Amino acid sequence: MLAKTLSCGLSGVYGYPVEVEAFISSGMIGFEIVGLPGAAVKESRDRVRAAISVSGLSFPFGKVTVNMAPADVKKEGTAYELAIAVALLAARSPEAFHGLGETMLLGELALDGRLMPVRGALGMAITAARQGVRTLILPRANARECECVAGLAVYPAETLLQVYGHLSGKAPLAAQPTARYETLAPDAPTAFDLKYVKGQPAGRKALEIAAAGGHNLLMTGIPGSGKTMLARCLPGILPPMTYEEALETTLIHSAAGELGEDHGLMTQRPFRTPHHNVSMPAMIGGGAKARPGEVSLAHNGVLFLDELPEFRRETLEALRQPLEDGFVSVTRVGGQNRYQSHAALVAAMNPCPCGNYGSRTRPCRCTPAEIKRYLGRISGPLLDRIDLRVEMDAVSVEEIETSGTEESSAAVRARVLEARRRQTARYAGLSYHCNAQLDQPGVERFCTLDAAAAKLLHQAVDRFRLSMRAYGRIRKVARTAADLSGHEAIEAQDVALALQFRTAHESYGG
């Protein structure tokens, strides 16, 4: 007596189909799983046995063998348990089941027969649709993330018994209604709006330029000056996520098990704030189970590193490649996984170890050598990838209270969208998407200065003793400033504005 069901394994963010075969023969009573099961899959035996019995169904009598094909790939995780249970039931009474060949089954079983959510359901659903599978049965908690996958009927179930009822045709389940991405309101307002950020004109402008040109941003300021608050506003002034972006981001979150239960496609850009003692695998991705790291979870969104100098040096060094290339490759025994990582880096730091340097009310007790050592913890190569550096104003509470209303995120976003549109038109057919990606030839070609701007920039190079690298960086930022103010060539005021976004500390490397 043989039965076959279809399930799915996870490799990277997408799935690969796994056939689950169950065979019952007479002989010594036993239950074996073959086909390179991992530890969690081996433990499935006890959960499957209990779930079937508690659900009031009968566990097959005899020698039970379950095979999972392809048999040479190691199977990890608990998503196969529903498929195993159904295969066992079908092996016992094959006549009771319909359409097992074109139905993919996903879900972990609890001892009482409930279906528990699984990791990576969206990626597996997309794989199923590509493989020509017509229906997908999965735990209810995972249903919403799959509602936008085209060409696939998704049936959410809560218990093994419901699945049995559906497959045997006795009590069919209701299909999850499909949703269109546009109806999920991708540009709904966020809780963090620039209108609540008081003061900080330079910081606000830096954030706007960062959003418009895709530049990375470093904020320096005393504790409580609003660095984190400002950073949290960045997702809200970036353009709304497109369907493709939302899909990419949700795929990664789903594969990492970070999506949360009953969560549809992500419509808001992610904002990740890893703590500064984060390990390198957690930041970049990897570990024994090869999960995406923080930089991938921030894909299409913002990676915020608060207290930048406190991060481990090797963690920051490892961040450079993913930020540059836009993807991370994690190689493990089982193969290579690739996670996308197009994230805007926003970093924040105190001006000195005690944090009070530049404060009007609290004295700083750090020596120049201590400050130098503190700033020196950030490597030059990483700083080179941060075009915008802004020092926060040390504002007092009275000043905050007296200041009037501030511009809202929506108004800033409108300017950002217009600047992005200009860039898209300018870089059509080229490998660049935004100003931050310009390389040396790109800077020469697109960051053209008018006569007054060129004169001003040369004066600045002399006065501030700017390095060649800083010169290129300022031209890129000036390009974005010009895009924001609608100038075709970069004008003097764009250069002057861009020059505000260097830090006063010369040790930042100019």
Binding site for another protein (CB under 8 A): 199-202, 204-205, 221-222, 351, 357-360, 363, 367-369, 391-395, 399, 403, 456, 459-460, 463-464, 481, 484-485, 492-500, 504
CB of residue 360 vs another protein: minimum separation in angstroms?
7
CB of residue 344 vs another protein: minimum separation in angstroms?
20
DSSP result, 41-70: HHHHHHHHHHHHHHTTPPPPPSEEEEEEES
CB of residue 375 vs another protein: minimum separation in angstroms?
12
H helices of 105-153, where? 121-130
* C-beta closer to another protein: residue 184 or 202: 202
* C-beta closer to another protein: residue 275 or 465: 465
**Exposed, middle or buried: residue 174 (CB in 10 Å: 0-12, 13-18, 19+)?**
exposed
* C-beta closer to another protein: residue 331 or 459: 459
The C-alpha atoms of residue 414 and residue 408 are separated, in whole angstroms, by: 10
What is the three-class DSSP state of 9?
strand
* C-beta closer to another protein: residue 386 or 392: 392
CB of residue 404 vs another protein: minimum separation in angstroms?
8
* C-beta closer to another protein: residue 379 or 459: 459
* C-beta closer to another protein: residue 404 or 441: 404
Residue 87 · residue 53 · CB < 8 Å: no
* C-beta closer to another protein: residue 199 or 281: 199
CB of residue 494 vs another protein: minimum separation in angstroms?
7
Burial string for 407-446 (b: 16+ CB within 10 Å, else e) reads: eebeebbebbbebbebbeeebeeeebebbbbbeeebbeeb
- Phi, psi dihedral angles at 359 (to 5 degrees): -75, 145
CB of residue 447 vs another protein: minimum separation in angstroms?
17
* C-beta closer to another protein: residue 418 or 439: 418
CB of residue 83 vs another protein: minimum separation in angstroms?
59
Beta bridge partners of 220: 349, 391
CB of residue 373 vs another protein: minimum separation in angstroms?
12
* C-beta closer to another protein: residue 201 or 335: 201
CB of residue 370 vs another protein: minimum separation in angstroms?
10
Q: Under 8 Å CB-to-CB from 478, ≥6 apart: which residues?
A: 447, 449, 453, 457, 490, 494, 495, 497, 498
The C-alpha atoms of residue 112 and residue 49 are separated, in whole angstroms, by: 10
* C-beta closer to another protein: residue 367 or 424: 367
* C-beta closer to another protein: residue 314 or 399: 399
CB of residue 415 vs another protein: minimum separation in angstroms?
10
Over its C-alpha atoms, the chain yields an Rg (Å, rounded) of: 28
What is the three-class DSSP state of 325?
helix
User: Quick one: CA torsion of 181, 426, 415, 209, rounded to 10 degrees?
Assistant: 100
The C-alpha atoms of residue 435 and residue 443 are separated, in whole angstroms, by: 9
Q: Under 8 Å CB-to-CB from 450, ≥6 apart: which residues?
A: 489, 490, 491, 492
CB of residue 224 vs another protein: minimum separation in angstroms?
13
Instruction: For residue 248, give the amino acid letter.
Output: E
* C-beta closer to another protein: residue 9 or 358: 358
Q: Under 8 Å CB-to-CB from 203, ≥6 apart: which residues?
A: 197, 219, 221, 226, 227, 230, 390, 392, 393
The token duo for 302 is 């913002």
Q: Under 8 Å CB-to-CB from 170, ≥6 apart: which residues?
A: none
For 257, other C-beta atoms within 10 Å of its C-beta total: 14
Instruction: For residue 467, give the amino acid letter.
Output: S
CB of residue 109 vs another protein: minimum separation in angstroms?
58
CB of residue 401 vs another protein: minimum separation in angstroms?
13
* C-beta closer to another protein: residue 58 or 396: 396
HSE toward the beta carbon, residue 66, CA cutoff 13 A: 32
